[in-house]
Amino acid sequence: MSIKDNLQHIKSTIPEHVTLVAVSKTKPKEALLEAYEAGQRVFGENKVQEMVEKWEVLPKDIEWHMIGHLQRNKVKYMAEFVSLIHGVDSLKLLTEIDKQAKKHRRVIPCLLQMHIAEEDTKFGLDEPELNELISSEEFKKMENIKVMGLMGMATFTTDEDQIRKEFAHLKSIFENLKQKLPSISILSMGMSGDYNIATEEGSTMVRIGSSIFGSRNYS
Ligand SMILES: *Cc1c(COP(=O)(O)O)cnc(C)c1O
């Protein structure tokens, strides 16, 4: 199946209001262009350097999403153009994004990453940490970031009930947060292996890589 066919297939299985982020990390720009020509405009990368290199050469109407774990010292390289940062999991990181966004006189949309999986290797906040962050004075003073919602990753397992439970948990945190912050509208959950469960549980944005571009080769 071609990239175009894969995109078409995925689009036909997710609800229309769900945004598809094509996760293009490690893939050459030719692959991204193929997806672009099939109409895809939203791409996700997990390394700042790689995203900058692709942004420089690819069409300017692409929306670039940073989906990976982000180091504070890298924010400055993408502050000019990034459309959404999914993996924000500390006030320190948010403070740096705010500072770099200000330099470019823009507001950078962000998602806070929640820890919902069993593995302790996955980054993210728990609900008390989330509430502490959003009620802090520093957070309330920030003018150059906009928290649009939450992002999370389920445990890497074949146990669908467990994945469903974790997504449902994230959805309930999302609903609670909506009551406190009016800007909340995006729930980023679901990857190649679990996006159907994620959309059934209320995802509004799925991040899909290998089911579009084929498996990644890290060698
Ligand atoms: C790589 C990655 C994805 C996409 O994974 P696939 O299984 O290839 O769809 C989604 N989200 C994050 C945070 C990723 O790093």
Q: For residues 171 and 190, is the Cβ–Cβ distance under 8 A? A: no
Per-residue model confidence (pLDDT) at position 188: 98
- Which residue from 7, 14, 20, 23 has its CB within 8 A of the most atoms of ligand 1, so it is best to mutate? 23
Please, are residues 210 and 216 in contact by the beta-carbon 8 Å criterion? yes
Residue nearest to atom 15 of ligand 1 (CA): 68
125's tokens: 């906040």
- Ligand 1: residue of 7, 67, 112 to mutate (most ligand atoms within 8 A of CB) is 67
Pocket lining: 190 vs ligand 1, CB cutoff 6 Å: no
- Residue 122: what pLDDT? 65
* Whether residue 8 has its Cβ less than 6 Å from ligand 1: no
Q: Are strands 205-208 and 19-23 parallel, antiparallel or unpaired?
A: parallel
Angle at 181 between CA 180 and CA 187, to 5 degrees: 105
Structure tokens at 72: 């504070």
- For residue range 68-85, what is the model confidence (pLDDT) as tens digits? 999 999 999 999 999 999
pLDDT tens string 39-48: 999 999 999 9
Rounded to an integer, the average pLDDT of 74-99 is 98
- Residue 185 has a pLDDT of 98
Q: Domain boundaries in the chain?
A: 3-208
Q: Where residue 121 falls among pLDDT bands split at 50, 70, 90? A: low
Closest residue CA from atom 12 of ligand 1: 67
pTM over 0.75: yes
Q: Does the Cβ of 71 fall within 6 Å of ligand 1?
A: no
Q: Do 101 and 127 meet the contact criterion of CB atoms below 8 Å apart?
A: no
- Residue 206 Cβ < 6 Å to ligand 1: no
CB atoms within 10 A of CB 36: 18
Q: Which amino acid is residue 162, in one-letter code?
A: Q
Using pLDDT thresholds of 50, 70 and 90, give the confidence band for residue 34.
very high
Nearest ligand 1 atom to alpha carbon 207: 10
Q: Is the pLDDT reported for residue 117 higher than 80?
A: yes
Quickly state the pLDDT bin for 28 (edges 50, 70, 90). Answer: very high
Beta strands, E only, 12-81: 19-23, 42-45, 63-66
Query: What is the band of 1 on the pLDDT scale with cuts at 50, 70, 90?
Result: confident
Cβ atoms of residues 111 and 85 within 8 Å: yes
Neighbours of 33 (CB within 10 A): 15
Sign, CA torsion 38/41/45/48: positive
Task: Provide the pLDDT for residue 7.
Answer: 98
Per-residue pLDDT for 219 more than 60?
Answer: no
> Which class does domain 3-208 fall in?
alpha beta
Tokens of 58: 């690819």
In testing the pocket of ligand 1, which one of 207, 208, 210, 217 has its CB within 8 Å of the most ligand atoms? 207
Q: How far is the CA of 23 from the centre of ligand 1 (A)?
A: 6
Residue whose entry in the numeric block shows the structure tokens 């209001």? 17
Question: Could you identify the atom of ligand 1 that is nearest to the CA of residue 213?
Answer: 8
| 191 close to ligand 1 (CB < 6 Angstrom) | yes
Run of H or E residues at 112 = strand 108-114
Record the tokens describing residue 28, joined without a space: 């050459």
